[in-house]
Amino acid sequence: MNNRTLALFCLACAVPGVAFSEEPLAYVPGNSVTLYGSIDAGITYMSNSQGSPRTFMDSGVFRASRFGFKGREDLGGGLSAIFTLENGFFPQNGNAAAGGGIFGRQSYVGLAGATLGTVTMGRQYDFMGSGLYQYASADTGGVYAFHHGDYDHVGGNERTNNSVKYVSPIWGGFHFGAMYGFTDLTAAPSDPAQRVVSAGAYYDRGFFSAMATFANLYDVVINPGTDLGVSSIFGLPATGKITAQKITLAALGASYIVGPVKIRGEITDVKMYYNGRAASMPTYDSSLTYYFNAGASLSGGVQRTTLGGAAWTQYSATYTYALSKRTTVYAMANFQRASGTARNAIMPTLTPSSTKTEFVPRIGMTHFF
């Protein structure tokens, strides 16, 4: 097997999806219902968990632990009815994840046309969360390498309820999409709470791919002190939860495969608005993966996020070994250093460090079904 073919094989085994992969991109004849999922479990060590070292079992780090059902009914004339029902879970105790809902990760139904594209309705990812992950160092560094606080949604932890989403067919490697999330019925008709507007465009040709996306979110509850490790934001003390009237997300990512090496980079920006004040939190992210001959890979990444005078720089390294097309074992490490006015280091899903540094190594395995 030559290096280029091996690289593509390893990518197919290690990455559960690509841009807009949650949506069927083209009409496929026939009827089907598929059960699918992945299970990720391992042991994590934290050098500082609120002041003390800690070793514990964690799950869904390299790839999400999830299960779901996908269905398709051929309606004839190049049209299919489709659905996806998906939830997350914690294999260490069997509890449900994603807010505890029966299908908290995704639940939507729609129509897929051979020439017109796909329209779906329900609980779905915005376009920040449905493809940018493949260009981020988190693709190999795991959940702990999500961009700071996952405020830019690249980690895919945020879904949009009551949403309508359109994804175009693929034309010469290019496709695009748009989404609108309606307000909840509990909100007043004039209240923009929970409303989401998002769009994205994706190009994939040969060994190069790129994606540009944005999303506008309205009346979003955030907790910058706890989520980001800052003492102040918007010129005010960060002492608890606040409601940002608007958050604008934008991103550009790209990747290129050269022989056994995949190079990727991404820039995102989170602009938050609160009572006439604004704050911007850009992230610059780059990573490289080398694929060996035995189904193994070695990756390294670095990202830097700034918010006013605060900054966080994070380094990640991961070694993976594919025991089969469905089973991978891995060892990874993430290190973060906070600087400037940042109060402390903090990685997504983990308790904050009491200092400006955090070191988190981990060993684990992932199985796809």
Give the domains, in start order, of the chain with CATH numbers.
Answer: 3-368 (2.40.160.10)
H helices present in 90-177, as ranges = 138-141
**Alpha-carbon distance 276 to 31, whole Å?**
52
pLDDT for residue 72: 94
Q: Amino acid identity, residue 212? A: A
Q: Token match 């964690």: residue?
A: 58
pLDDT for residue 8: 43
116, two tokens: 């017109």
pLDDT for residue 131: 87
pLDDT for residue 212: 98
pLDDT for residue 193: 62
Query: Angle at Cα 348 formed by Cα 279 and Cα 250, nearest 5°?
Result: 40
**Alpha-carbon distance 74 to 295, whole Å?**
37
Over the chain (369 residues), what is each successive 10-residue block's mean pLDDT? Answer: 43 44 52 94 97 96 95 93 95 86 92 93 93 94 96 89 95 95 69 81 96 95 94 93 95 97 98 96 98 92 97 98 96 98 96 97 97
Query: Angle at Cα 86 formed by Cα 247 and Cα 57, nearest 5°?
Result: 85
Is beta strand 196-205 parallel, antiparallel or unpaired with respect to 208-222?
Answer: antiparallel
134, two tokens: 């493949």
CA-wise closest residue to 40 among 85, 91, 102: 91
157, two tokens: 């932890």
Beta strands, E only, the chain: 32-49, 52-59, 66-76, 79-88, 106-113, 117-124, 160-167, 174-181, 196-205, 208-222, 232-233, 236-237, 242-258, 261-274, 277-291, 296-307, 310-322, 327-340, 357-368
CB 319 within 8 A of CB 332: yes
**Alpha-carbon distance 247 to 228, whole Å?**
15
